[in-house]
Amino acid sequence: MTMKMKVCWMYHDIMDLYGDKGNILTLQKRCEDRGIEFELETCGIGENKELSDFDLMFLGGGADKEQISLIPDLRSRRENIKKALDEKTFVLLICGGYQLFGQYYTAADGSRIDGLCFNDYYTETGKAGSRCIGNIILDAQLEDLHTKIVGFENHGGQTLNVAHPLGKVLVGEGNAFGAGYEGYYDGRMLGTYLHGPLLPKNPDVADFVIMKALQKRHPDFTYKDLKPLTNPFDQGARKALFERFHIEAD
């Protein structure tokens, strides 16, 4: 049976601040290497899309100016996004996209931008322009998958009241200065501040996202059903970072 994964990249022309295209390319390559058909569509401001038709919805990062520019269009899609979530479309959110699915975020100029309110967390701006910047490593339990997640954080926003964090911080800051935990995962969406981009550095997480997307049309599909892939380059990069920070590898 040929499997297919349909992906919608939201606001690809605006929210691609930190190389988010690398996340899409990683998903595409890892699907194609397994014979999984990969279909990508983009959705910009004013475009008509039925988001529940997709297996995965992806929203990347952007600065305050870009986020403010798309807010009216994003809000107009709230009911359609809810429908997609209810129908098991998986959602991957990076940085600004992560913030926008919360209650609100406060921009650098102090203005409050209301989010979609799908989650209880909210984001305040860092004091005196302070930012969480640097390499970051998480210890994460994604359902049956236990893995360490590596990336680079660069955010002034301090995201608070996160009920279901993605992982425990081993190196770095996380959702806020000294938060101890980073990101958000609740089974239907995964949000994080990790750039780098995220998925090329974390093939296990890329495969987990693929699995969650495929489960929309194949509910019994499991992580173990994905054909194993080996790439010495991504494993080498992870090993180098673990050694640098004296972290035990996976």
Catalytic residue annotation: 95, 195
Q: First and final CA of the chain: distance in angstroms?
A: 32
CA-based nearest residue to 188, from 203, 209, 205, 161: 209
3-state secondary structure of 29: helix
3-state secondary structure of 32: helix
How far is the CA of 144 from the CAs of 114, 211, 229, in angstroms? 34, 12, 19
Token output for 7 = 């992906």
In our burial notation (b when 16+ CB lie closer than 10 A, e otherwise), range 187-208 reads eebbbbbbbbbbbbbbbbbbbb
30 Cβ contact list (under 8 Å, min separation 6): 203, 206, 207, 210, 229
CA-based nearest residue to 237, from 13, 26, 73, 14: 26
90 Cβ contact list (under 8 Å, min separation 6): 55, 56, 57, 188, 189, 190, 209, 212, 213, 215, 216
Token output for 68 = 């403010």
Binding residues for substrate: 131
